Structure 1
Amino acid sequence: MGLIAEVLFWSSVFLGTAGLLFCAVYALILFSDLTADHINPVELCELINRLVLPEYLGHVALTAVLLLKGLLIPAVLNLPLILFHTWRYRERKHLLDNTSIFNDVEKERPICVAKLAHHLLMFFIYLYFFIIALAAA
């Protein structure tokens, strides 16, 4: 029963991380579409702003699950991005404004790339822990 519980745990972690990866890639694609003039600023801001809170809450929930499981290393590795999200939310910088998006796109794109890199790195760390759990069983 322990092995099945571990597989289900890591499967849920992988799915959560895949959702976070999707959010980062989707935002990058939307920023590229904006610079190529395939999408208007109002539509871009609506689409990205709709994803902000679910992304933040999903990341916090994933980290909380890791903490509850007792996996301190992955939880601590998630902490800087959670602190960054908290700072953006408290400073009211988490939502994009369609009137200034062309000025902000060069600041927001590197943030999306950094989030993508972080979530990809965490995905491979979770994969490592998953393989270790399978080998121990």
Structure 2
Amino acid sequence: MVFVWLTAFFLVVALIVLVIYQLMCLADLEFDYINPFDSSSRINKVIMPEFVLQALLSVLFLLSGHWAMFLLSVPMVYYNYTLYQRRQHLVDVTEIFNQLGREKKRRLFKIVSLIVLLFLSLFWMIWSVLSEEDE
């Protein structure tokens, strides 16, 4: 049981790192440290790994029977899936300045939801360790 929570913890940390990296690229673009092409190419390189890690996290919760955590992670997977289906998941070089505010808000929302998942997974990991000690 602890293995599931450790895996979930490291997956959530990896997702947080990927989203923070995207936010840093957008901030560098906003302050004119890098050009739009470099920023969008850096962000687009980590979009699919982020989507795959989020889906793996949800599948992990589903297969391990942690329904509450699964239900908390499914909306983000669905959101990523709809972005992918509408072909809005990649950042466009020509429109990045026009969509900078929206892209930053999107990633900030992801950060908040991932931090909630992180704290909940830490809580359940500690709870499962303590409950195993009682047995």
TM-score by length of 1: 0.93
Task: Please show how residues 11-30 of structure 1 align to structure 2 within 5 Å.
Answer: 11-30=6-25
1:133 alignment counterpart: 128
Q: Provide the C-alpha distance between the structure 1 equivalents of 2:10 and 2:123, rounded to a whole number of angstroms.
A: 15
**Mind listing any 5+ residue stretches in structure 1 that lack a counterpart?**
1-5
CA contact (8 A) 2:4 2:64 kept: no
The alignment partner of 2:97 has SS state of: helix
Q: Provide the C-alpha distance between the structure 1 equivalents of 2:2 and 2:124, rounded to a whole number of angstroms.
A: 11
Q: Provide the C-alpha distance between the structure 2 equivalents of 1:7 and 1:69, rounded to a whole number of angstroms.
A: 11
Q: Provide the C-alpha distance between the structure 2 equivalents of 1:123 and 1:50, rounded to a whole number of angstroms.
A: 24
Shift in Å, 1:63: 0.7
Root-mean-square deviation over aligned CA pairs = 0.8
TM-score by length of 2: 0.95
Alignment counterpart, residue 103 of structure 2, candidates 102, 108, 119: 108
Supply the AA of the counterpart residue of 1:80: P
1:3 alignment counterpart: none
Match status 1:120 vs 2:115: yes
Q: Provide the C-alpha distance between the structure 2 equivalents of 1:79 and 1:7, rounded to a whole number of angstroms.
A: 22
Match status 1:55 vs 2:31: no
Q: Provide the C-alpha distance between the structure 2 equivalents of 1:12 and 1:82, rounded to a whole number of angstroms.
A: 18
2:60 alignment counterpart: 65
**Mind listing any 5+ residue stretches in structure 2 that lack a counterpart?**
none
The runs of at least 4 consecutive aligned structure 1 residues that moved more than 2 Å come to 6-9
Tell me how many residue pairs correspond in the alignment.
132
Supply the AA of the counterpart residue of 2:82: W
Shift in Å, 1:7: 2.9
Shift in Å, 1:12: 1.4
Match status 1:76 vs 2:58: no
Deviation digits for residues 37-87 of structure 1 (CA, Å, limit 9, x no counterpart) = 001100111111011111001100111011100000000001111111111
